[in-house]
A and B are shown apart, each in its own frame.
Chain A
Amino acid sequence: MSASVVDAPKRRRLGSRIAPAAFLLPFLIPFLLIFIGPIGYAVVQSLQKVERVAGLFGTPTTVWAGFAQYQRALSDSDFVASIMRVLLFGVIQVPVMMGIALLVALLLDTQSARLKRFHRLAVFAPYGIPGVVAALMWGFLYDPRLSPIVSGLEAVGLHPDFLGTDHILWSIANVVTWTYAGYNMIIIYAALQALPSDILEAASIDGARPLRLAFHIKVPLIAPALVLTAVFSIIGTLQLFTEPEVLKTITTTITSTYTPTMASYSAASANDYSYAAALSVLIAGVSFVLSFGFLRFTTRWNGTS
């Protein structure tokens, strides 16, 4: 299976030295220029600041500032609050979404489930809906002027305030959960379908009841798929932007620095490029460290590769 099976001299003679480069470079060059390059440029820019030498109308010059922008970010109470907000969001939203995805996948994996194709497609469908459209739709469903849900709840004596200060974070969490639970469900379901049936049959013959079979046999076996989906969810949480940015147009409870990415966007809109660069380097760094750390932690914990 591996490349070492083929002996090296023959490979060198038949596959020329240019071939690998010709296959790789069309991807690698744009990857380095457009993907890696800007990260480096942002790091450089985050270490600078713009100064106007002679007052407001003087020519702006770029000067070296060391870690001044990072210090500014960490002492910026709005930015720190936005980080705490997405951390709180992630700690609640990611497990809830993963729980829904796992529950639906396990139910679809039972023999009792009817209309499997229909359910699978219905739960997955929101993933195909643009985040902007999802946020617009839910925004209308949260809006007391339009929403049949709000009027329905009011008819039974409840007065939900989905767009108010207390609930808005969880209203956003609902939009994100609604959009991505189905995607995670499909990955988990596919992993369940790929489990060797003899293990499940053996456990079943040994008298394992459905619940025990699900949580003691199936879930541990599909742990790699759960880790994969969790990592992508963590990455998604830290870059939370579209949903709050769209909902911001219908409620005043979302500020322009509500999430870290919104904070860096608003710095860039104010032409404060060095600060915007520092913020996005921080966001990229933190999410890389968190998802990489989570991967390392879970692989060690599971003992799998």
Chain B
Amino acid sequence: MTSHTTNTPSTSVRIKRKFGAAPVAVNIVLLVATGYFLLPVFWLVVAATKSRPDLVSSFGFWFLRPQLFQNLQELFSEQDHVFGQWMLNSLLYSGVGALVGTVLAACAGYCLAVYRFRGKEAIFSLILGSVLVPATALALPTFLAFAKVGLTDSYLAVLLPSIISPFGVYLSRIYTQAAVPLELLEAGRIDGANEWQIFRAVVLRLISPALVTVFLFQFVGIWNNFFLPLIMLQNDRLFPVTLGLYSWQSQISRNPQLLLLTVVGSLVAVVPLVITFLSLQRYWKAGLTTGSVKG
């Protein structure tokens, strides 16, 4: 990728001169865009540090008597520590859902890339077609079916639908086709390795950048999911943090105390995602490129 962007000295000077036509304008527009995208986040950080009276009465875009630690303490002790439970639930749904989902998608994508069997293209078309069916439109049918078999209002009600990632299968397939030479698999077989050993020792290593991408986007997708838990869950001890915050928000008119806690909780709910994204940064960039260029 980088080899495309490096030019020989003479052409890079030439291009720089051509591109340098309006450097000030380019950077001003970029700064405006960045301001738009960062401003609400900055507001949230500022607001989460304020006291209740200051939250409504002081200027929203700057700090005043910060008391973040006190707010956090209050957040986590509210309603018998329910917020901590929500965070743990979200970690469980996202962590387990994304891990299992990635493994299943990797195996299936690999299978569709290297083996030949009857009905393969039909199965792949079905999986690809289901990428085009919106998740929200699927959630309600899933709820109706789960209600029929008595699976609603349980951890499984949110976990089971989360482990299915048709997009993960698609990405694993195209990545395997691009990154795993079939000769390598043949070599493994001649050396006496069985199919599972080849997959674990050779293939997983080669396609790991794509798998990190699948895991990351599924983790974020499940963490941010709202409609599925909203229709599946009644018991608030099972809520993920998104649903918990929504339930607090809808009670603010009756209980104004919850306003500050909703703000602080919103900030806390984002932290695990920031950590995940930053720690896996070099992988998701590579993975996104694969997805778009091949798509």
Using a CB–CB cutoff of 8 Å, the interface residues on chain A facing chain B are 1, 3, 5-6, 8, 10-11, 14-16, 19-20, 22-24, 26-28, 30-31, 34-39, 41-42, 45, 100, 103-104, 107-108, 110-115, 118-119, 122-123, 125-134, 136-141, 145-149, 178, 181-182, 186-188, 190-191, 193-197, 200-201, 204-205, 208-210, 213, 224-225, 228, 231, 235-236, 238-239, 241-242, 245-246, 249-250, 261, 264-265, 268, 273, 276-277, 279-281, 283-284, 287-288, 291-292
| Closest beta carbon of chain B to A59's beta carbon, Å | 18
Q: Which residue of B lies closest to A37 (CB)?
A: B145
Q: Does B65 contact A (CB under 8 A)?
A: no
The answer to whether A24 and B108 touch across the interface, beta carbons within 8 angstroms, is: yes
A148 and B62 alpha carbons, distance in the complex (Å): 10
The answer to whether A194 and B293 touch across the interface, beta carbons within 8 angstroms, is: yes
Q: Does B206 contact A (CB under 8 A)?
A: no
Using a CB–CB cutoff of 8 Å, the interface residues on chain B facing chain A are 1, 4-5, 7, 11, 14-16, 18-23, 26-27, 29-30, 33-34, 36-38, 40-41, 43-44, 47, 55-56, 59-61, 104-105, 107-108, 110-112, 114-117, 123, 126-127, 129-130, 132-138, 140-148, 160-161, 163-164, 166, 169, 177, 182, 186, 189-190, 195-196, 199, 220, 223-224, 226-227, 230-231, 241-243, 245-246, 249-250, 252, 262-263, 266, 269-270, 273-274, 277, 285, 288-289, 291-293, 295
Q: Which residue of B lies closest to A114 (CB)?
A: B27
Chain B interface helix/strand/loop/mixed: helix
The answer to whether B138 and A38 touch across the interface, beta carbons within 8 angstroms, is: yes
Q: Assuming A137-B40, A193-B5, what are 4 further A-B pairs, CB within 8 angstroms? A: A14-B186, A16-B195, A130-B226, A190-B289
The answer to whether B140 and A277 touch across the interface, beta carbons within 8 angstroms, is: yes
| Closest beta carbon of chain A to B120's beta carbon, Å | 8
Q: Which residue of B lies closest to A138 (CB)?
A: B40
Q: Which residue of A lies closest to B148 (CB)?
A: A41
The answer to whether A178 and B143 touch across the interface, beta carbons within 8 angstroms, is: no
* CB-defined contacts of B16 to chain A, threshold 8 Å: 111
Count CB-based A-B contacts (< 8 Å): 319
Cβ contact of B231, chosen from A23, A137, A178, A268, cutoff 8 A: A268
* CB-defined contacts of A127 to chain B, threshold 8 Å: 220
| Closest beta carbon of chain B to A229's beta carbon, Å | 8
The answer to whether B126 and A36 touch across the interface, beta carbons within 8 angstroms, is: yes
Chain A interface helix/strand/loop/mixed: helix
Q: Which residue of A lies closest to B127 (CB)?
A: A31
The answer to whether A283 and B134 touch across the interface, beta carbons within 8 angstroms, is: yes
Cβ contact of A190, chosen from B20, B40, B231, B293, cutoff 8 A: B293
* CB-defined contacts of A178 to chain B, threshold 8 Å: 36-37, 40
| Closest beta carbon of chain A to B166's beta carbon, Å | 7
* CB-defined contacts of A41 to chain B, threshold 8 Å: 141, 144-145, 148
